[in-house]
Amino acid sequence: MKSTNHIVSKTIVFITGAFVASNCWDEWKKFFEAKGYDCLVIPWPNKDAPAKVLRSRQPSEAIASMRLQRLTDYYASQINFLPEKPILIGHSMGGLITQLLLQRNLAAAGVAIHSVAPQGVICFSLAMLRSVWGPLGYFSSTKKSFLMSFSQWQFAFTNGMPEAEQKATYDKFCIPESKMISRDGLTKVAKIDFTRPHAPLLITAGSTDHIVPAKLNYATYKKYRSQGITSFKEFEGRNHLVLAQPTWHEDAQYIYEWLNK
């Protein structure tokens, strides 16, 4: 469905996904600020530090203790301090949180980039299973955070990129994560009522994303049944590190234009 008026809000809150530091939004923040938006990047609790510092704390009980419900409530509390309902732009787990916050009527619009699927939305993909098995951490202690190895990062986040770029992005962005966050995405905490009216929502996907396949994002899009505006866009050649690929500017431009239709 298409809107006839652009989104009024000029405040954007970027919501980071799992496994990556919040500096993944640095260029996006500059892009949208240049377009006249007030932009906020709110790190997850216990993650307000550079990736190198967070990796040095591995394993981290503080990070390991984070749960999806608490994280969603945290963002809701931060949004309540803002002078207007913001536009939410979330990546991966941040995309799921974006949808959960739209369900609470806390945003003027939402953009879910390569979003983790809500509860009950599934598709079969061997690449996805291989990507998420380690982060789910079955048969290991949930009191210890999970840190992707470089080889896991190569497959799950940066497939298709030159090895030198894969290594550079691993050093710059990769951080420890809670195993319970990944597991919570499979529970009722991640449930979306697809019949409930919601603010405009754009779901984007990447044709080469291993950890969140495009067909999974499309399946989420097709689930929405309310009168709210819901749009879908698949970009060719995007892996899960879409925010930092050389093509990031094209994605940001598309989102900007969608917000102003």
For residues 178-202, average pLDDT:
95
> Which residues does 70 contact at the CB level (< 8 Å), separation at least 6?
none
Domain made up of 11-259: CATH architecture:
3-Layer(aba) Sandwich (3.40)
For residues 31-38, average pLDDT:
98
Long-range contact pairs involving 183-189 (C-beta distance under 8 Å, separation at least 24): 183/136, 183/137, 184/67, 184/68, 184/69, 185/68, 185/93, 185/96, 185/116, 185/117, 185/119, 186/119, 187/68, 187/119, 188/119, 189/67, 189/68, 189/69, 189/72, 189/119
pLDDT at position 6 is 63
pLDDT at position 136 is 81
For residues 11-15, average pLDDT:
98
Tens-digit pLDDT profile for residues 225-252: 987 899 999 999 999 999 999 999 999 9
Spell out the domain ranges in the chain: 11-259
pLDDT at 3 over 50: no
| Least confident among 183-187, 205-209, 215-219 | 183-187
Q: What is the pTM of this model?
A: 0.95
pLDDT at position 89 is 98
pLDDT at 4 over 80: no
Residue type for position 256 = Y
For residues 70-97, average pLDDT:
98
For residues 115-136, average pLDDT:
89
Tens-digit pLDDT profile for residues 80-89: 999 999 999 9
Instruction: Give, in degrees to the nearest 5, the angle at Cα 190 between 38 and 44.
Output: 40
Write phi, then psi, for 205 (nearest 5 degrees): -140, 165
